[in-house]
Structure 1
């Protein structure tokens, strides 16, 4: 694929989430609503929400790859899924490869945010103004641009879902690769 760092980063964030879900690593401030009641039963041996997230992200990658490469080998069950994704999608055209890279990048951001790393959203540029001033808005579950001039038509702060941020990042990287040669 064009940007090996995208899948490597997604794999590293997935590894962290697996360690958090199994209890071998401390869980950070996870996005989403917190529980307000005291549990009656002992906690599950693994974090069910994180497990569901990991299963869903793995399934998304597998479904995309198999749609265009039905002969791809057996997909791994851990973060090696991103290496498998790269190896199984070498023959894709540029548009589909960029779409797959955007999936991996978005999933990397999701993994990082779920692990409590809100700084991960700062690195991609804003899809609206190309500045590096994004911040995670947990209430909206979106990235918000902190640039005072990057506003919606209604005069509100621009917000972007992670899919839009990832697509913009991958398109920018592709444009930079084309102009660098």
Structure 2
């Protein structure tokens, strides 16, 4: 997590669950609205889908990281406890698998922030290619774009990155910093 950002992925998940999932919850709606002759959905379905997908992905991650000889507890009932559960259930794993876990959690944190309308979280990361601070979120293409004109391909197209790539680079930098500090 960047030092200027105090909102963890777990806190973002809790905020989405308590504030954005509520009927008429905050933030712009990404889904199509109902016609006037149809009643509105009681909750934001795009937010509900996002929460369900995030929790399912973390549950599948724990299953894939833990082998059959190493049983794990079932996932928590409260969605906001998902990341704590994931970290506890995989704390015994080797460093590489823990970094994979951390990258998924961090990527989901970025997704949560973007869903809540905070795409500025992308600007807190250097470009993985040119290392400048010129990244931005392209909502239309749902990708990260480097705005540095020197960081473009031969056709002049901006370099693009997935949230997963940004998260993996972030976790790798954190691990390298931690290794240097010891």
TM-score, shorter chain, exceeding 0.5: yes
Alpha-carbon offset, residue 153 of structure 1: 3.4
Match of 2:40 in 1: 43
CA distance in structure 1 between the partners assigned to 2:154 and 2:34 by the alignment: 40
In structure 2, the residue corresponding to 1:147 is in which secondary structure? coil
Alpha-carbon offset, residue 154 of structure 1: 2.5
Alignment of 1:62-77 (within 5 A): 62-69=59-66, 71-76=71-76, 77=78
Q: Are 1:28 and 1:116, in contact at CA under 8 Å, matched by a contact in 2?
A: yes
Normalised by the size of structure 1, how large is the TM-score?
0.86
CA distance in structure 2 between the partners assigned to 1:156 and 1:67 by the alignment: 37
Alpha-carbon offset, residue 165 of structure 1: 0.7
Q: Which runs of 5+ in 1 are unaligned?
A: none
CA distance in structure 2 between the partners assigned to 1:125 and 1:43 by the alignment: 41
Normalised by the size of structure 2, how large is the TM-score?
0.86
Alpha-carbon offset, residue 68 of structure 1: 2.7
CA distance in structure 2 between the partners assigned to 1:119 and 1:158 by the alignment: 18
CA distance in structure 2 between the partners assigned to 1:48 and 1:119 by the alignment: 24
Match of 1:14 in 2: 13
Alignment of 1:11-160 (within 5 A): 11-18=10-17, 19-23=19-23, 26-29=25-28, 35=32, 38-69=35-66, 71-76=71-76, 77-160=78-161
CA distance in structure 1 between the partners assigned to 2:36 and 2:104 by the alignment: 35
Q: Which runs of 5+ in 2 are unaligned?
A: none
In structure 1, the residue corresponding to 2:83 is in which secondary structure? helix
Instruction: Provide the aligned length of Structure 1 versus Structure 2.
Output: 174
Task: Give the superposed CA RMSD.
Answer: 2.3
CA distance in structure 2 between the partners assigned to 1:154 and 1:53 by the alignment: 35
CA distance in structure 2 between the partners assigned to 1:107 and 1:39 by the alignment: 34
Alpha-carbon offset, residue 40 of structure 1: 3.2
In structure 2, the residue corresponding to 1:79 is in which secondary structure? helix
